[in-house]
Amino acid sequence: MTISTAPVSDPVATDAPPAPTRRRRPGHAREWWLGAVLVLPAVVLAVLFKLVPLVRGVVTSFESSSGFGGSEFAGADNYTRMFDDPMVLTSFRNALLVVATLPVWIVLPLILALLIHQRSPGWKFFRAVYFVPYTIAPIVVGIMFRQILAPDGPLNALLRFVGLQPLAIEWLNGRYSALFSLVAVALWSFFGLGVMTYLAGLATIPEETLEAAYLDGAGFFRRLWSVVVPMLRPTVAYWSVLCASGVLIWLFPLIYALTQGGPGDATMLPEYLVFLTTFQFLDRGYGSAIGIALFVFVAVLSIFSVRHMFTEGTRKPR
Amino acid sequence: MFRRRLAGALAAGMAAAALLTGCGGDDAADGPVTLKVLTWEPGGAEYWKQVKTSFEGSHPDIKLEMQSVPFDKYPEVQGPYITSQSGPDVMANNAGLELFDRRGAYVPLGDKAAEINKDLVTYSGACEGFDTSKTCYGVPFSYQGNVLYYNKAVLTAAGLNPEQPPATWDEFGAACEAVKKAGKTCLALGLSGTFPAYWDFPEIARNYLTEDDIRALLAGKLSWKDPKMVSVLGKLAEITTKGWANKNAPSITMLPDGADIFQRGDAAFAGTIISDAVNWEAFGKALGDDKLGVTRWPAIDPAAPLAGKFSGIEGAVYGVTQWSEKKQAGLEFISWLAGKENGELWVKYGKGQPLNKTVDKALLPSSPAFLKIQELVAQPTLHAGVMLSGPEADALARGWQQVTLGQLTVDRWADQMQQALERSPTKKQGK
């Protein structure tokens, strides 16, 4: 018997995956190019209609313009000016008050969607009716509610009729009642979209899970908080992002038709101030600076939800 | 080979298209030129229909394409056109600072201005600094200004003499108390938007300012903290704080909401204008010509030099846009607007006050209110409202809303007005 001293091949090495080859699979490059070509139109559109206007807005915000004449570089003047402008400060304060109503925007449609989803009496009717306000153009909604909220309008007539005379106030005349009315009208106009969004999310929850919770004796709110909300987290996050940005950029047509930012500055929000400054005061640079400030404000508000959605979306299944 | 032929055919096609469109120069030679006109249709749709028919009839080489926008939405539509330097060939603006604000959008008329001016009662409002020797940017054809309309039936029901409307501030206050006791609103008012600046402010300002002051206001050289200006704001505030106007005034617009209150017969007075919309003709139709009275706003200080004058201004001014490729046709159209033919259409269909002196007097309406207005306009002065910049007009309306609701003092309002003046880009330009 001879003992060989020749090196024995490493058994581990045979189990290891083969070293990556430098050569790509023959179809790989073609697939990559095909993917790029398919994505290209979307990238071009995004650059043209999102990135370019944004960059243009940023550039304009550093310019000073007089009326419709030429413009010149103004450094950060437009931005520093905002801190001394009471109208800008009030508009952002009003924006914060509007943002404070976000829980209502998120929870109310969820409850209504759940009631529809569990086939409460009349669910088919309500499913259709809730969505109708969303289909009415916001400018029409604004004009409509100007009449409804008038001191002698139908809302106050109804309140007086049912004996709630003290509640029949001049809705659009008070500092806080005007802002509250604006938000309430916006909620009326948009909650149908929230209901639809949640219904789409609810459709992904297995019936058996909800039934099991029901059979285990869980009531409506227990099922809501312990079953529905955890399983609906991605949808809630999506709707939250939409609302957080939406309450600050959806309201323009309603402000325009309903209050024009008044009385005084009671319903002045940054998006309306951007419009007013740019097109009525003819101060394009300053209007752009307020617009960029609004963009940052909305981005900061949305970033937490977007991050959460990204984490959820990229988490690998266990 | 085929590709080469295709490329050749495409190149030839493109060259032909370029010749037909771009290289045709100003005003295409083949076929009529179509002029796009941005207007809020002062005088009403019927008048503008007549303008189109008459002008196209006498100018077969030019067609008019009207883009009509409601007056209170007009700046929002026009602003983006001007910012992007594109859009209509001819546009309208109110004479005064509104036009000066936008003068960069219009072609200066040069020598043509004098030719247009020769038959007009007045023309300065279309020119820089209300001075016809300076650059003029457009053409007016109507005369505009403020009066106080009143409903004789409401005054009678309140125990007042409809043939002797209140002439002083104190008499107006007393009349308002009587009207309120009779269950009606005294002054129909809407404070949202720019109407307070155009329609109410000049009527109070006449009692405190001279014409030089008004020119200083235009140039941005009259401080809002000046005691005269604070007094003007104080008297404006009195209108609402003394309860003379409808309670919802802060949250409604004057047009249509405020005017509706008067047209429904629910208010004794409405301070509006003499031409275009909400004038003697519209109110006469709603209330009856025999029920409609018209007077000057009550004098606060009857001894003030301008207290007995009429705040007059040329109405809408039409100019040719800088970016128009049909400037010659545009100029022809606006020159025609100032002429006798359009002046007579304006009287007949627009029911307004013509600027052209050669208009046939037999065509003028016989309404008692119109005839009274003819008396009032005979003593004109500068219109202080059209001297305000966008930020000033906005701050005037918002401040008045807040003062009415008890959220602001008059002194603080004056501070806000001064801040608005300081951030008015167009007034900075004048300094």
- The rounded mean pLDDT for chain B is 88
- The pLDDT of residue A21 is 53
pLDDT over 70 at A212, yes or no: yes
Mean pLDDT of B306-314: 91
- The pLDDT of residue A66 is 60
- The pLDDT of residue B2 is 43
Predicted confidence (pLDDT) per residue in B186-241, tens digit: 999 999 888 888 899 999 999 999 999 998 998 899 999 999 999 999 999 999 99
- The pLDDT of residue B142 is 87
Q: Which position has the higher pLDDT, B25 or B227? A: B227
Cβ-contact B343, B360 below 8 angstroms:
no
Tokens of B126: 């279309």
- The pLDDT of residue A6 is 47
Residue A26 — very low, low, confident or very high, per pLDDT cuts 50/70/90?
low
- β-strand pairing of B139-140 with B267-273: unpaired
Q: What is the DSSP letter of A3?
A: -
Query: What is the spatial distance between Cα A237 and Cα A313, in angstroms, rounded to a whole number?
Result: 11
Q: What is the DSSP letter of A44?
A: H
Q: Indicate yes or no: CB of A280 within 8 angstroms of CB of B79.
A: yes
Q: Which of A49-53, A240-244, B424-428 has the lowest mean pLDDT?
A: B424-428
Cβ-contact B379, B372 below 8 angstroms:
no
The residue among A266, A239, A304 whose CA lies nearest residue A105 is A239
- The rounded mean pLDDT for chain A is 85
Return the sign of the alpha-carbon dihedral for residues A148, A150, A156, A157.
negative
> Is the Cβ of B426 closer than 8 Å to some Cβ of chain A?
yes
CA A316 to chain B, closest CA, distance in angstroms equals: 48
Residue A2 CA to its chain's centroid (Å): 79
Q: What are phi and psi of B67, to 5 degrees?
A: -110, 105
How large is the ipTM?
0.75
Tokens of B192: 């949202």
State the DSSP H helix or E strand holding residue A258, giving kind and residue range, or none if neither: helix A252-258
Q: Which of A245-259, B201-215, B393-407 has the lowest mean pLDDT?
A: A245-259
Q: Indicate yes or no: CB of B398 within 8 angstroms of CB of A264.
A: yes
Cβ-contact B405, A175 below 8 angstroms:
yes
Return the sign of the alpha-carbon dihedral for residues B251, B255, B256, B261.
positive
- The pLDDT of residue A301 is 83
**Which of A211-225, A229-243, B329-343 is modeled with the greatest confidence?**
B329-343
Q: Indicate yes or no: CB of A276 within 8 angstroms of CB of B394.
A: yes
Query: What residues in B contact A153, CB-CB < 8 Å?
Result: none
pLDDT over 50 at A12, yes or no: no
Cβ-contact B323, B329 below 8 angstroms:
no
Set out the domains of chain B in order of their start, with CATH numbers.
32-143+313-369 (3.40.190.10), 146-312+379-430 (3.40.190.10)
Query: What is the spatial distance between Cα A191 and Cα A193, in angstroms, rounded to a whole number?
Result: 5
Cβ-contact B386, B313 below 8 angstroms:
yes
Look at phi and psi of residue A124 and say left if phi exceeds 0, alpha if psi is from -120 to 50, else beta: alpha
Q: Which of A203-207, A220-224, B326-330 has the lowest mean pLDDT?
A: A220-224
Q: Which of A31-35, B152-156, B227-231 has the lowest mean pLDDT?
A: A31-35
Tell me which residue in A66, A173, A286 faces B251 most closely, judged by beta carbons: A173
Give the other-Cβ count within 10 Å of B128's Cβ: 17
> Is the Cβ of B156 closer than 8 Å to some Cβ of chain A?
no
Tell me which residue in A68, A284, A286 faces B105 most closely, judged by beta carbons: A68
Which residue type sits at B235? K
Residue A27 — very low, low, confident or very high, per pLDDT cuts 50/70/90?
confident
CA B103 to chain A, closest CA, distance in angstroms equals: 8
Query: What residues in A contact B397, CB-CB < 8 Å?
Result: 262
Predicted confidence (pLDDT) per residue in B74-119, tens digit: 877 888 898 788 999 999 998 887 787 788 899 999 888 888 888 8
Mean pLDDT of B372-381: 88
The alpha-carbon radius of gyration of chain B (Å, integer) is: 24
Show contacts of B72-78: CB within 8 Å, 24+ apart: B72/B193, B72/B253, B72/B255, B74/B40, B75/A279, B75/A280, B75/B390, B76/A275, B76/A279, B76/A280, B77/B38, B78/B38, B78/B102
Query: What residues in B contact A261, CB-CB < 8 Å?
Result: 398
Q: Nearest residue of B to residue A71 by CA position?
A: B425
B67, β-bridge pairs:
B38
> Is the Cβ of B183 closer than 8 Å to some Cβ of chain A?
no
CA B184 to chain A, closest CA, distance in angstroms equals: 15
Query: What residues in A contact B405, CB-CB < 8 Å?
Result: 173-175, 263-264
pLDDT over 60 at B12, yes or no: no
Mean pLDDT of A169-188: 92
Residue A288 — very low, low, confident or very high, per pLDDT cuts 50/70/90?
very high
Residue position matching structure tokens 């002046």 = B343
pLDDT over 90 at B64, yes or no: yes
The residue among B9, B10, B31 whose CA lies nearest residue B20 is B31
- The pLDDT of residue A18 is 56
As a whole number of Å, the end-to-end CA separation of chain B is 68
pTM as predicted:
0.78
Q: Indicate yes or no: CB of A67 within 8 angstroms of CB of B79.
A: no
Q: What is the DSSP letter of B296?
A: P
Mean pLDDT of A148-160: 91
pLDDT over 60 at B152, yes or no: yes
The residue among B89, B9, B67, B20 whose CA lies nearest residue B332 is B89
- The DSSP annotation for B319-385 comes to EEBTT-S-HHHHHHHHHHHTSHHHHHHIIIII--EE-BTTS-GGGS---HHHHHHHHHTTSEE--SG
pLDDT over 70 at B58, yes or no: yes
pLDDT over 60 at B180, yes or no: yes
Q: Indicate yes or no: CB of B82 within 8 angstroms of CB of A68.
A: yes
Under DSSP, is residue B140 helix (H, G, I), strand (E, B) or coil?
strand
Mutation pick from A60, A63, A64, A68 vs chain B, by most beta carbons of B within 10 Å, is A68
Tell me which residue in B101, B102, B407 faces A264 most closely, judged by beta carbons: B407
Query: What is the spatial distance between Cα B332 and Cα B334, in angstroms, rounded to a whole number?
Result: 6
- Between CA B362 and CA B370, with CA B365 as vertex, the angle to 5 degrees is 130
Residues 6+ apart with CB under 8 A from B192: A259, A260, A262, A263, B250, B251, B252, B253, B254, B397, B401
Query: What residues in A contact B388, CB-CB < 8 Å?
Result: none
- Residue B5 Cα distances to B2, B9, B16, B123, B182, angstroms: 5, 6, 17, 61, 88
Query: What is the spatial distance between Cα B146 and Cα B279, in angstroms, rounded to a whole number?
Result: 10
CA A261 to chain B, closest CA, distance in angstroms equals: 9
Set out the domains of chain A in order of their start, with CATH numbers.
47-63+72-84 (no CATH), 93-285 (1.10.3720.10)
The residue among B269, B256, B261 whose CA lies nearest residue B200 is B269
Residues 6+ apart with CB under 8 A from B230: B224, B410, B411, B414
The alpha-carbon radius of gyration of chain A (Å, integer) is: 28
Residue B343 — very low, low, confident or very high, per pLDDT cuts 50/70/90?
very high
Q: Indicate yes or no: CB of A262 within 8 angstroms of CB of B398.
A: yes
Please enumerate residues of A whose Cβ is less than 8 A from a Cβ of B: 65-69, 81, 85-86, 150-151, 170, 172-175, 178, 259-265, 275-276, 278-284, 286
Query: What is the spatial distance between Cα B122 and Cα B312, in angstroms, rounded to a whole number?
Result: 10
Q: Nearest residue of A to residue B413 by CA position?
A: A264
Predicted confidence (pLDDT) per residue in B253-283, tens digit: 898 889 999 999 999 999 999 887 778 889 9
Tokens of B426: 């167009």
Mean pLDDT of B15-40: 62
Q: Indicate yes or no: CB of B247 within 8 angstroms of CB of A151.
A: yes
Tokens of B159: 């125990």
